[in-house]
């Protein structure tokens, strides 16, 4: 995976600044720094959120 690729979250659902991020949600990879990954997540209303505390193990390629 590289920046710009789409992926899906395999991490359990969690709360991010009042927004529920569900397992299986589609995200776009913004930056990879070693094992740390920063992604862009769009919520149900279409608002973008940056998630910075993920690892490569929290993501899976989209089929």
Domain count, the chain: 1
pTM, rounded to two decimals = 0.85
Between 1 and 42, name the one with better pLDDT.
42
Which residue range forms the structural domain that includes residue 47? Answer: 5-61
| CA-closest candidate to residue 8, choices 41, 30, 31 | 41
- CATH number of the domain bearing residue 49: 2.30.30
List, for residues 5-60, the tens digit of each pLDDT value: 999 999 999 999 999 999 999 999 999 998 899 999 999 899 999 999 899 999 99
Residue 63 has pLDDT above 90, yes or no: no
What is the distance between the alpha carbons of residues 42 and 50, in angstroms, rounded to a whole number? 9
Q: Provide CB contacts within 8 A for 60, sequence distance 6+.
A: 7, 8, 9, 10
The predicted structure's pLDDT at residue 53: 87
């Amino acid at each position: 995976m590289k920046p710009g690729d789409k992926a899906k979250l395999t991490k359990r659902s969690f709360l991010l600044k009042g927004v529920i991020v569900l397992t299986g949600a589609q995200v776009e990879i913004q930056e990879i720094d070693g094992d740390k990954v920063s992604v862009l997540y769009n919520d149900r209303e279409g608002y973008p959120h940056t998630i910075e505390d993920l690892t490569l193990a929290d993501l899976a390629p989209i089929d």
